[in-house]
């Protein structure tokens, strides 16, 4: 089956029913099937749905953000962090490479800062309300670039027919 672009709206809640994230009505989220742009469990559910269909689904950790891994928690000196003021809840990229993991400050004790590289939703059941608003075959450029392009074929806007990405 050919790769598709799927546009959808979602509301994400935790087990207690608290809203964690959602799309805004004028901006559905779109992704290229198989690109790894969204979590596996969500992509699996959306791939089975038709345009205009709604569903409520639960994505378990093994198909979401995985399970917590305590080896991803580390204590470092404040001096190793790129900010003067460090607060619990702050996020930092753990290196200069754009693919370096993002870590969260979970504790500050004097000069010792505890960082957690686990995704904040690791180990959590995710409760999604979904609405598929678009399903279409992916354009060859989208498949070769690995992501969705805007209307007109560009990924950065401006009406350029080629996104220039690699």
Which residues neighbour 82 within 8 Å (Cβ) at sequence distance 6 or greater? 92
For the cut 60, the answer to whether the pLDDT of residue 72 exceeds it is: yes
Q: How many domains does the chain have?
A: 2
Residues 61 and 77 placed together within one structural domain of the fold: no
Whether 157 shows a pLDDT value over 50: the answer reads no
Mean pLDDT lowest among 28-37, 123-132, 154-163: 154-163
- Note down the domain range covering 111: 70-116
Q: What is the CATH number of the domain that holds 46?
A: 3.10.50.40
% of the chain with per-residue pLDDT over 70: 90
Q: State the Cα–Cα distance between residues 5 and 135, nearest whole angstrom.
A: 6
| Residue 39 included in any domain | yes
Is the pLDDT at 163 greater than 60? The verdict is no
The pLDDT value given to residue 153: 61
* Whole-structure pTM value: 0.79
> Would you say residue 105 has pLDDT above 70?
yes
Average pLDDT over residues 31-57: 95
pLDDT in tens, 11-22: 999 999 999 999
Q: What is the CA radius of gyration of the chain?
A: 19
Q: What pLDDT sits at residue 113?
A: 95
Residues 11 and 46 in one domain: yes
Mention every residue, 6+ apart, whose C-beta is less than 8 A from residue 11: 19, 21, 22, 23, 128, 129
Residues 112 and 133 in one domain: no
Cβ atoms within 10 Å of 73's Cβ, excluding its own = 16
**What confidence category does residue 165 fall into, taking pLDDT thresholds of 50, 70 and 90?**
low
- Region 77-96: mean pLDDT is 88
Judged against a pLDDT cut of 70, whether residue 161 lies above it is answered with no
Is there a single domain that holds both residue 85 and residue 51? no
pLDDT at 156: 54
């Amino acid at each position: 089956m050919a790769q598709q672009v799927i546009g959808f709206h979602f509301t994400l809640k935790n087990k207690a029913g608290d809203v964690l994230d959602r799309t805004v009505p004028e901006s559905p989220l779109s992704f290229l099937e198989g690109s790894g742009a969204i979590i596996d469990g969500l992509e699996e559910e959306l791939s089975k749905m038709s345009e205009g269909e709604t569903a409520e689904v639960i994505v378990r950790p093994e198909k979401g953000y995985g399970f917590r891994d305590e080896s991803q928690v580390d204590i470092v000196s404040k001096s190793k962090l790129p900010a003067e003021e460090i607060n619990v809840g702050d996020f930092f990229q753990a290196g200069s490479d754009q693919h370096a993991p993002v870590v969260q400050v979970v504790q500050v004790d004097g000069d010792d800062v505890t960082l957690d590289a686990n995704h904040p939703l690791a180990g959590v059941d995710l409760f999604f309300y979904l609405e598929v608003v678009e399903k279409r075959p992916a354009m060859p450029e989208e498949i070769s670039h690995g992501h969705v392009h805007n209307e007109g074929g560009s990924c950065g806007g401006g009406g350029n027919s080629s996104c220039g990405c690699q």
